Structure 1
Amino acid sequence: MSTTPSGEPGSTVGRPRLTVVSGPSGVGKSSVLAELRRLRPEIFFSVSVTTRTPRPGEVDGVHYHFTDHAEFHRMAGAGELLEHAEYAGNRYGTPRGPVERALAEGRPALLEIEVQGARQVRATMPDAQLVMLLPPSWDVLVDRLTGRGTEDPEVVRRRLAAAREELDAVGEFDATVVNTDVRNAAAELLTLVVGPGLSPHSRS
């Protein structure tokens, strides 16, 4: 079985908690989480806040909460973000309030984020469960990241280096799920998110 939980079994039984999902680019996080959303739409999926300009088709509050640098700085300083980081001149973060409200309502919460962000969440919310989504093998991931061989070799090199760095952090996570098949991976992740007593198979 590819799901390998660790830590303190039973410490959060009976109450919802935040699950943080990380994994290298190309591992299929979007596909697995889309299937998870189909299986259990009641799970709260955190929406990040960003200072980036919306792209065509993006909806405020659905894809991101779009804001300006001043408001983002205020939120970070006031402790309203579980984690935050800067990429390519734009800032991204996870609002604390919606996650805490979902958990208080009895809804499991899920956040997809990079390893660095997962570390910050662990520091600010120690009960959070960290899960890493893994490829079936390194060769499979390389095939996905290199694509058709038409991209600049330096871009490919940076992608592979970033993927290796993410995978090297697997020991910091509470569980792993290998994405050999999207539906199976989503089912295993769901078991981690809501507990083994609520199997998805009867509704898939």
Structure 2
Amino acid sequence: MYEREERKKIIVFTGPDGSGRKSVAEAVGQTFGMEKIISFVTRLPRPGEVNGQDYHFIAHATYREMEEQGEFLESVEIDGNLYGIRSLDIENKFSHHDSVYLILNREGASILKKIYGDMVIRLFLYADRRTIEQRERSRGLAEDVIAKHLSHYDLEMSYRGSCEHAFENYDLGQTTYEITNALEQYLQRDLVDKD
């Protein structure tokens, strides 16, 4: 007889801005039926971003109030903007799902790994600098935003060796396939022979 063992996993998609984290994360999340944890941020939405779907876009003062009340599990500042994950959001999703996913930079990914340990699987996505620049231009991002992202590129790339898995992302379908195969060992091994 087989019994289901609970294996709660937090899948973190990380890597430089423009590496395709969001597209790959959504495709993989859909494949496994994982719920997305949405970060809170104090910056304005970028072209194509939707409030409540990509981020919760909130005022700086509101963010600080939530932070003072201890709502954020992790909080980081990037280029003057604050980003945070609420512990309540993770707890709520875990009450209905075994696996959740997030899209975070290296600081956020490191904080979650320290808090949750082996529950966190970090998937590092990357592409070369020129490809990232082209992707960001095609998304309609302002030149100053692209320049800021590229200024973080080397630092973000240095985090690759700290992650459980790394994937070069030039083809969405191929990368999604490779990540799905890698995650099978974490997300599908929940059947254990009890006989």
Asked whether the two chains share a fold, i.e. TM above 0.5, the reply is yes
1:62-81 mapped onto 2 (5 Å cutoff): 62-81=53-72
Pairwise CA distance, 1:193? 4.2
Indicate conservation of the 8 Å contact 2:13/2:25, yes or no.
Answer: no
TM-score (norm 1): 0.70
Instruction: Say what the alpha-carbon RMSD is for the aligned residues.
Output: 3.5
- Name 1:99's counterpart in structure 2: 90
Give the TM-score, by structure 2 length: 0.73
2:134 maps to amino acid: G
Match in the other structure for 2:16: 24
2:162 alignment partner AA:
E
Percentage identity across aligned positions? 26
Q: Is the 8 A contact 1:16 1:194 kept in 2?
A: no
Match of 1:132 in 2: 124
Contact 1:45 1:110 (C-alpha < 8 Å) held by counterparts: yes
Unaligned runs of 5+ in 2: 138-142, 189-195
Which residue of 122, 125, 131 maps to 1:144? Answer: 131
> 2 CA distance for matches of 1:73 and 1:22?
25
Q: Distance in 2 between matches of 1:156 and 1:53?
A: 15
- Please tell me whether the aligned partners of residues 129 and 153 of structure 2 are also in contact (alpha carbons under 8 angstroms): no
Q: Aligned partners of 1:157 and 1:66: how far apart in 2?
A: 22
Matched length: 180
Structure 1 unaligned runs (5+)?
1-12, 136-140, 199-204
